[in-house]
Structure formats: structure tokens, C-alpha cells
Amino acid sequence: EDNSSVCIAQGLHFKPGIRVETNCQNCGFQQVRINGLPGQYVQILLDNRPLFSALTNVYGIEQLPVTMIDRVEVIRGSGSALFGSSAIAGVVNIITKEPEKNSYELKNHLVFTGEKSPDNNTSMNVSLIDENRKNGIYLYASQRNRTPYDANGDGFSEIGKINSQTAGFHAFSRLPNQGKITLEYHSIHEFRRGGNRFDLPPHEADIAEQIEHNINGGGITYNQLSKDRKKKINLYSSFQHALRNSYYGAQQNPNAYGNTRDITASNGIQYLYYFDKLGFMPAELMAGGEYNANHLEDKATGYNRIINQKIHNVAAFVQNEWKNTSISVMAGIRADYHNLLTQPVVSPRFNFRYNLSDSVQLRLSYGQGFRAPQAFDEDLHILAVGGEAMVIRLAPNLKPEKSYSSGVSLEWQKQIGDFQTDLMAEGFYTLLSDVFVLTTTGRDSQNNLLVERQNGPGATVRGINTEIHLTPPFPFLFETGFTFQQSMHEHPYAWTDDSTAEKVRHLLRSPNRYGYVSCSYFPVSRLKINLTGTYTGPMQVAHYKGYIGADRLETTPDFFDMNLKATYTLLFQGVFIKFCIGMFNVLNSYQRDFDKGVYRDAGYIYGPGMPRSFFVTITLTNNRKE
């Protein structure tokens, strides 16, 4: 809300240790990074369920509109047995809105990207609940139309075209026996395209990445609490079905069309028991099981690529947390039986909290995880490089990647005079073995660039997250976070088949420092001013030949992406009318050296997701929210 985000991707920047980056000039493929690790190490959940598959992870964080979302919970590290073993860097849990009171909202948000290209988003929602608050439903819908943006005048887009429609609901019913049933459903249709010559079919353009998704998903959850409120059982079943028609091609390639079908299911049971005392203090025991399945069929016959991947993962876990007002000890273990692995994987997890004083809290965590040798999101995205396509394949005998993560943090909360102050410092360390790396291996008969996922050297990621919250006695809020980190392979490895190119030891696209700031000021009761910003330090990125003469590593400059907006609220006949104007990337801190033309490397993109852009928003609602 403070940053005028229209989708999840635009609102995740403002958490310690979190970065959202764009990885393709053509289609705008984005990913979330936590504590320096790429998106493949981050588990994205929808209402606590792992419905984001390799396919829907490619564009998923830009496809979910904010009108369906109540909040986003970010958990750094792998300290809970509840989450899958792929939650190595952490978890992004997207919680959909549940009806709280009878309300409605209609909003239109118009952005002029680069001060010229319109991006219009219209959304509505209605919340209905009965008088005794036992039954309710939240309905929502949104539509987005974004025109492409060309940053350097070469006729090729740096920000692609999007037409999308989303609708869904979240409903609940409280039963007489202290039970609750929850239903959720969402439907997403999205068309996106990048490249050039948008008025022609994609195979007549010099470069085109055109993707059309039809996604339907939902789930049912049953919660039952015992009469003595000491026992609780959760049953759930969720699914998501996605169809994708795509074209990833260059130089009028008529054979670059593809189609993909993806089905994801998650079913499970959790049992909780609250002990008044278990051994030495009160405790909460949780045990359960989970079955996750994914069937992916991807056909890109023009690139001689057919993926028919069936994944079945059966997991059992147990976790106990002893806690009182001053101390908490949580120990858990999770066993995963993955059909692509010959042996089950056992992952222990541990968390410890101790209140050193009334204002200082110490936390420790440890966890293990793994990634199975399977197709990931970037495998389902074919990049245009040097006028040809880059195709990712799995190396024969690819071994699973394993991780060992630990963390320690101190939190200090103190009332200093009339100021409420909250400080946090968190150290993190992750050791990776048999790391998955991408290495170019040559070209096929059609001159497409072949990239293979191989087991590379081990790697370590270490660093410190900091966060400060200040709440003064006057109407002003201040929040900032900063991360210092180092991400290194054990020894340099060859990221390209060009023997003259520099080998790399740093994890690519992983800056050593980055952070955010957010300020809110209420000069008068109806006026709110927000200033937000993100800082990204220098990092190494791969730059493949085509527009340039040879593959090489580039070191990017640093960026500060500052946003400013003002919101004024009127009350007219019981309706709150909110007018908002603002500017994204006020300083126009944006990449200056994009490749040009048909031979560009579309993956050579970094920094803020958009240049300086104006926006205006109008909202009609009967529910005033600041």
C-alpha cells in the first residue's frame, strides 16, 4: 500500500535480506532472493501450501494482484520442519484476504512507465460476513494492461506487454463444534510479450517471447479444535492447474512455439497438542504428513526439448516447541521421500529464543535442506542471446544439492522517551554442497546456445541483516533495513565454454550490500506522504556474446531506487475517496548499457525494474485504511 504496488513482486523489497530482480529484457521473468541465494532456494507458498511449481514460479510473483492478498510472511532461513526441504534460503508465504467485515473497494491505478508508456490496473473487492461472524466470503477481481517500454530507442522492449485478468474468492464457515472450513479459489489469465514488432505474429518478429497462461487453483482446509482447547487437527487439500502456450524465438523462427501443462497438488494433515507441562515447561507438539505431487509436460519441439516430469514427494515431520515468557526451544525433524532420489532425505531443524532482558531477545536457528535434480523455473524460460535461443538441460547423473544453514539474531525493543525503538541484527551462514551451476557447453545443429545444469563446487553464503523501526510521538513512521553479505564458491568455475573468459567465484547476481527505507508522514489528518526506496550495491553478472564480441563478466554500478507518493482522502456520503499521485524511481537510477537489436543478450539486465515513472490512483471504498 505504501509503495502503490499492484502485484507481489513490487511489494517484497521492503524486508531485510530480500531482493526482487528482473532476469529477462523480453518477458520480464522475475525472482525473489533471500539472504543472497537465488529464487530456486526460496519456497513460495500460497496460504501455507506449496502450489508454486517450476512453471508457475517463472512469472508467478507478478501474476498475483495485491487485491487478493492480506499480507506476506517472510521467514528467513530453514528453521521449521513444517516447510519443505527446498526452503533453504527461506519462505515467502502469501496469505489471501479473509472477510473481516462488510466492505467494498474499487481502485484504478495508472502508471506511465518511463514517463510515456501506460500501465493500467483496475481492481475491485467485496467482503461479506454475517452478524455472528460465522460465515463470510471475500470476492475479488483485477485487470491489468501494460504497454511495452523501449529504454534505448532500438525498437526492442526492455519492459514487455502484459494483459491479465484475475478473479477469485476466499470463504469460511465456522461450525458449531469449534470447527472451521475454509475455501479458496483463484483464476488467472495472462498474456505477455516482449521483443519487437508487436503488431505481427511472434514468428514474424526479430525477437519475440510471447507467453499466455491460464491458471486455476484453490483449496479446502478443515480445522478442528477440541473442547478443552488443547488439541487441534488441520486437514487440507490444494491444487493448481496451469496451461501455457509460448513462443521463445528470434530471427523469424517458425518452430519456436511450445506448450506446457502443469498440475500441482498438496495434501496433508497436522495434529497439534498443547501440554501444560512437558518435562520442564509448557510445550506445543505438532506432527503430521504431507503429500505433494507435480506433473509437468513441456513441449518445445523446435528446440528438441520435451520434458515429461512427474514428481512425488511424501513427507513426515514432527516438531515440539517448549516455551514460556522468557525462553523457547523448538526442535523438529522432517523426512522427505522424493521419487527422483534413491534414498529418503532427513532434515533436522532447530530454533532457540531467550529473553536476555525485558527489551533484548536472542534467537538461534539451524536447518538442513536439499534440492532434487529436476527441472526448475529458469529451465522453462528460453532466453534470446545473440539472435538465437539459450536452452537449459540437465547434466547426466546430476546429484542432489544439499544445504546446511544457521543463524543468530538479537532484537532490542525500547521506549526511549517518547520514541518507540525496535532494532534487529541477524547473522546468517549457509553451506551448500554439489551446487547447481549453469555452464555453456556449445551449440546445437540450429546454432542455439546449449547450457547445462551441472554440479559445481560447494559454496558459502554469509552475512548480516539489520533492521530499524522508529515510532516517534508525532505522526511519522520510519523503517530501514540493510544487508551485508558475501556469497562465494569454494573455487572458481567456468561459467562459459569460452576458455579466454574469466572464471567466477562469486555467486553471480549477488551484491555484497543492499537495503531499503520506508517513511510515512501524516501532516494533516487526511493527507499521507510516503517515501520508500531500495539500494542495490555492485554485483557480477554474465554478459553473453552477440551484441558484444565475446562472453564476459560485468560489474554493475550501485542503484538507489526512490519512490514518492501523496494520498489525500475525502469522505462523501459515506464513501471514502482516495486520490494518490506519485513517482517511481525519482532519481531515474536505471540501467544505462542495455544491449541493442536482434543480437542482444536478453539476460543482461540488472538494477531497478523500471525507470522514472509517474502514477495516479483513485480508490472508492467504505473502509478507510491508512
pLDDT digits (tens, 9 = 90+) for 448-481: 777 788 888 888 999 999 999 998 888 899 999 9
Alpha-carbon distance 242 to 299, whole Å?
A: 14
The answer to the question of residue 626 being in a domain is no
409 has pLDDT over 60: yes
Q: Is residue 9 classed exposed, middle or buried when 0-12, 13-18 and 19+ CB atoms within 10 A define those classes?
A: buried
DSSP bridge pairs for 117: 113
What average pLDDT is seen over the chain? 90
Count CB atoms within 10 A of the CB of residue 198: 16
Residue 347's pLDDT band (cuts 50, 70, 90): confident
Q: How many residues comprise the chain? A: 626
Report yes or no: 427 and 464 within 8 Å, Cβ to Cβ: yes
Determine the 3-state secondary structure of 303 from DSSP: helix
Number of folded domains that form the chain: 1
Determine the 3-state secondary structure of 203 from DSSP: helix
Considering only CA atoms, which of 251, 252, 321, 256 is closest in space to residue 285? Answer: 321
The pLDDT assigned to 441 comes to: 79
Evaluate the CA torsion angle 356, 359, 360, 364 in order and state its sign: positive
Which run of H or E residues covers position 62? helix 56-63
Count CB atoms within 10 A of the CB of residue 464: 16
Residue 96's pLDDT band (cuts 50, 70, 90): very high
pLDDT, tens digit, 9 for 90 and up, residues 578-605: 999 999 999 999 999 999 999 999 999 9
The answer to the question of residue 240 being in a domain is yes
pLDDT, tens digit, 9 for 90 and up, residues 207-222: 999 999 999 999 999 9
Report yes or no: 65 and 166 within 8 Å, Cβ to Cβ: yes
Residue 342's pLDDT band (cuts 50, 70, 90): confident
426 has pLDDT over 80: yes
What whole-number percentage of the chain has pLDDT above 90? 62
Residue 535's pLDDT band (cuts 50, 70, 90): very high
pTM of the model: 0.90
The pLDDT assigned to 449 comes to: 74
The pLDDT assigned to 621 comes to: 94
Residues 6+ apart with CB under 8 A from 158: 25, 149, 150, 151, 152, 594, 605
337 has pLDDT over 80: yes
Higher pLDDT, 396 or 112: 112
Span between the terminal Cα atoms of the chain, in Å: 9
The answer to the question of residue 158 being in a domain is yes
The answer to the question of residue 468 being in a domain is yes
The pLDDT assigned to 382 comes to: 66
Which run of H or E residues covers position 11? helix 8-11
User: How does DSSP classify residue 7?
Assistant: B
The mean pLDDT value for 138-146 works out to: 97
Report yes or no: 50 and 291 within 8 Å, Cβ to Cβ: no
The answer to the question of residue 164 being in a domain is yes
Q: What is the CATH number of the domain that holds 583?
A: 2.40.170.20
195 has pLDDT over 80: yes
The answer to the question of residue 311 being in a domain is yes
Higher pLDDT, 431 or 626: 431
Report yes or no: 80 and 349 within 8 Å, Cβ to Cβ: yes
Evaluate the CA torsion angle 262, 263, 269, 274 in order and state its sign: positive
The answer to the question of residue 1 being in a domain is no
The pLDDT assigned to 615 comes to: 97
Which run of H or E residues covers position 314? strand 305-323
What whole-number percentage of the chain has pLDDT above 70? 96
The mean pLDDT value for 380-388 works out to: 63
* The residue type at 298: D
Supply the range of the domain harboring residue 112: 8-130+137-621
The answer to the question of residue 385 being in a domain is yes
